[in-house]
Structure 1
Amino acid sequence: MKHPGPVVTLLAGLVLGLFLLSLNATTGTKSASSYQEESPAASTSPSPKPSATPSSPAPTESTTSPTPSKSAQPNADYAGRTDDDSSAIAVSLRDGKAIAYFCDGHDKESWLKGDVKDDGTMKLTGKQGAELNGTLQDGKRIRGTVDLGGQRYGFTADKAVKPSGLYRATATVRGAKVDGGWIVLPGGNQVGILNRDDKPSPAPEIDPETGVVTIDGEQLTALPVTP
């Protein structure tokens, strides 16, 4: 009787080989499937969008400090005489405006007015082409010229301290229209003209403290003149 040993052994080896071949095939498929599921390229999740670069803030407009304006000219009064000592002049300044009175104390006079520029220069005008051109110097004095009646007069008017300054009185006295102008100079001297119905004559003196003046027996009050 023959022993089945070799045949059984051969069959056992064949079964083992088939089993190992089947196991390898199964393991390879599973590994490939697992790789595809874990691969980033095969992932269905959308790629995160890059964050937007924050825009630079809009440049702020540079603030330029305004050029400081020149200081306003002081409110003050000025009085003095012409270079030839023939006449007097007074100028009153208020808030960039000026009024001036030129007077020789006899029969020549002129009221002038105009603006004062930031640099202290002024051009004042009056009747019959009268003109004053002056410059305020450090707020202490006015130096300039007056053109009147075909003549030019240089002058210097220093800052006046009351009662020095410019005064005027207008009224009707004994039926006559009266208009008087006075310049009280530093030191107390006075120069003025009084017009009665437009006829000039030397003006009587006023009381520099009160401005009171007597004209044809009647008392009037001459008041300080400002623009």
Structure 2
Amino acid sequence: MNRDIYGITIASSRNDRSLNPVEQLNPNEYKKFNNKLYSMILEYLDLKNDFQYDAKYIRGSKSNIAETLVNHFYRLYVYQYQGKTDEECVLQLFNDKEYTERLEKIYLLYKEYSNKYLKYSNRKLNFFDYKYTMVRITARIYYMKQFRTNKNLFTKKECEDIKVKDFLENLIKLSSYKKDSHRDINKFIFAKGSIPFFTLKMLEVNCTNQKEEVKEALKYF
């Protein structure tokens, strides 16, 4: 039903690659794919477009589909810069203002959508996936903005933003998965060279109103 309505679905088996792009796309093809994926995400996560079907499996799978789409966009966007050196890829990615704006839009829609459907999830790991995804998106948004402007992002107003509070809360809750996580969060989240750590250090310097929460989060790095 999800496939008929949105053209997407959860993986029906380990061999189902319906949500993955064709292997070895060239940069222009990846760019087209990412644009299509972004449009798909906006349509799927917009609750005004939501369809209602009172079936446990359908309702329970919605947060899984959302998480898969969002993580594909997060992960695959850099591939449109392939063919360049790793350093050039990173420079172009972090200077891509449109990508930052798209992540911010996805952040808001994904949070709203998950608030509605995560409680129906038929996978316990979806609760971990949601926090993991939100931490990575938020940290990348802040890192990219800092990279482009080289200015202090965390004014008093920004420090009081709900996005900062959500970032710290999700980061602290993620720490309980460090020993038994199915993802390598010790490498991508709780490492002193990670983007979430860089974001946390910026908060430590600039957001005194979040002093205790930042101190608590830093214990896990």
- Does the TM-score normalized on the shorter chain lie above 0.5? no
More strand per residue: 1 or 2? 1
User: Rg: which structure is higher?
Assistant: 1
User: Higher relative CO (CA 8 A, sep ≥ 6), structure 1 or 2?
Assistant: 2
TM-score range, shorter chain: under 0.3
